């Protein structure tokens, strides 16, 4: 909230559909939606019912359950690159584990990430990260030893020359290239034509694994994520947010040959007391099963397009499916430098203008608006009118 000139956050008491209520009884139309997981809105009745029923059967076992196999099957069915998948509890854990696996599989240490892409807060990935790190203006975080990020090479997003140069220089030692296939953590930045294809080609040429961090985009921009939408298949995929239906569940998966290196079958250690937790798998299944219906994605696209069309006269709107950002700039935002050049003061006043009218967008220029099936035309049009009112 400090990034938008406010001292105090509001404290949430409850949420329903597209709305939040705070402890003082004020309601807000919510475009943050827990930063992405809630594709059916707050307190979705089917999710609540599934979680309640699961809780009555026991909250954690530390032993296999049928529901975790069913979640794994939903993911493998949906996501093109995933033959096998491991469930964990957060996107941070999933990205960290995927890189450990990539390093073991390739017997190499170096990784490439892109400026403004956020992959959770594992030490090695806290170099030039987006999201809260970008908002707070911390290039990396204190407490991260330089030795830990020494093997992390950072390239500008959408810059094929720069990644080609990095591969030419470090290719022999590169374990993985990790990327948000649609960036969401510097605001929404779609991949430029050919960018993802170039990453695929360069990884194949040097023997590095291509890792798509689809924690936001998975089950959002299409059921099979950005890899389905753009037709580029990574070696490993990191998932979170929507897969857990609003509970702590995330996953990483990929080719069987790579995943088989994981313990206990293989020698790469990975474990978690609450991984595949029965409440989380119940919520995940309650959501994922309804996402088999293409009509969901047609409807998210229709609503996203309506929002984009209404906001476009008032800001530079960048959108892919059900994620969008209003950038306070005139030109296209193609990378983190472009995003950082936006007028964050103007974004802050827009934020305060909207909040006064009971509309809550992300308190940062470097985040997304998350369209859900709970955002009807009324909510979309009310938001457009309020933004027009600010602009006018």
Ligand X SMILES: *Cc1c(COP(=O)(O)O)cnc(C)c1O
Site residue total, ligand X (CB under 6 A): 15
Please say whether the beta carbons of 218 and 242 come within 8 A: yes
**Minimal distance, residue 91 CB to ligand X, in Å:** 2
- Select 159 or 214, whichever has its Cβ closest to ligand X: 214
| Among 30, 50, 71, 92, interactor with ligand X by CB under 6 A | 92
| Among 20, 51, 75, 95, interactor with ligand X by CB under 6 A | 95
Q: Mask: binding to ligand X, 166-205, rule CB under 6 A, as x and -?
A: --------------x---xx--------------------
Give, as ranges, the residues between 110 and 129 that touch ligand X (CB under 6 A).
118-120
- What residue is closest to ligand X based on CB? 91
Measure the CA–CA gap between 252 and 250, rounded to whole angstroms.
Answer: 7
Of 141, 86, 57, 364, the C-alpha closest to 252 is: 86
The radius of gyration of the chain's CA atoms, rounded to the nearest angstrom, is: 20
Max CA pair span of the chain:
62
Measure the CA–CA gap between 56 and 38, rounded to whole angstroms.
Answer: 23
**Minimal distance, residue 239 CB to ligand X, in Å:** 9
Task: Give the residues across from 52 on adjacent strands.
Answer: none
Please say whether the beta carbons of 140 and 126 come within 8 A: yes
3-state helix, strand, coil in the chain (%, to 5): 40, 20, 40
Q: Mask: binding to ligand X, 216-255, rule CB under 6 A, as x and -?
A: x-----------------------x---------x-----
**Minimal distance, residue 306 CB to ligand X, in Å:** 24
Q: Mask: binding to ligand X, 200-219, rule CB under 6 A, as x and -?
A: -------------x-xx---
Helix 195-206 to helix 160-170 angle (10° resolution) is 10
**Minimal distance, residue 330 CB to ligand X, in Å:** 27
Is 318 strand, coil or helix? strand
The residues of the shown chain that bind ligand X, judged by CB under 6 A, are: 90-92, 95, 118-120, 180, 184-185, 213, 215-216, 240, 250
């Amino acid at each position: 909230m400090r990034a938008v000139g406010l001292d105090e956050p509001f404290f949430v008491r409850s949420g329903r559909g597209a709305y939040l209520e705070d402890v003082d009884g004020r309601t807000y139309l919510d475009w943050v939606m827990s930063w992405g997981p809630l594709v059916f809105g707050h307190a979705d009745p089917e999710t609540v019912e599934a979680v309640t029923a699961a809780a009555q059967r026991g909250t954690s076992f530390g032993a296999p359950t049928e529901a975790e196999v069913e979640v794994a099957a939903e993911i493998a069915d949906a996501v093109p690159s995933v033959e096998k998948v491991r469930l964990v509890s957060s996107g941070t854990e999933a990205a960290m584990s995927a890189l450990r696996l990539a390093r073991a599989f390739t017997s190499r240490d170096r990784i490439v990430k892109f400026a403004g892409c956020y992959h959770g807060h594992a030490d090695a990935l806290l170099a030039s990260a987006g999201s809260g790190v970008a908002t707070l203006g911390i290039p990396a975080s204190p407490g991260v030893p330089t030795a830990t990020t020494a093997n992390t090479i950072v390239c500008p997003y959408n810059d094929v020359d720069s990644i080609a140069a990095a591969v030419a220089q470090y290719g022999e030692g590169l374990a993985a290239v990790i990327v948000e296939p649609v960036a969401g953590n510097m605001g929404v930045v779609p991949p430029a034509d050919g960018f993802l294809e170039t990453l695929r080609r360069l990884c194949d040429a040097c023997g590095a694994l291509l890792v798509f961090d689809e924690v936001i985009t998975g089950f959002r921009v299409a059921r099979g994520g950005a890899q389905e939408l753009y037709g580029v298949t990574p070696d490993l995929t990191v998932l979170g947010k929507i897969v857990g239906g609003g509970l702590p569940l995330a996953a990483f998966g990929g080719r069987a040959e790579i995943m088989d290196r994981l313990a206990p079958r293989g020698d790469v250690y990975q474990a978690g007391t609450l991984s595949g937790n029965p409440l989380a798998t119940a919520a995940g299944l309650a959501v994922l099963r309804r996402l088999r219906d293409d009509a969901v994605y047609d409807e998210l696209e229709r609503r996203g397009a309506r929002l984009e069309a209404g906001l476009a006269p008032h800001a530079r709107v960048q959108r892919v499916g059900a994620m969008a950002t209003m950038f306070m700039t005139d030109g296209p935002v193609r990378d983190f430098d472009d995003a950082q050049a936006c007028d964050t003061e103007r974004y802050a006043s827009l934020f305060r203008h909207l909040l006064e009218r009971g509309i809550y967008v992300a308190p940062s220029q470097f985040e997304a608006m998350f369209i859900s099936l709970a955002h009807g035309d009324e909510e979309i049009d009310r938001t457009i009118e309020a933004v027009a009112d600010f602009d006018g």
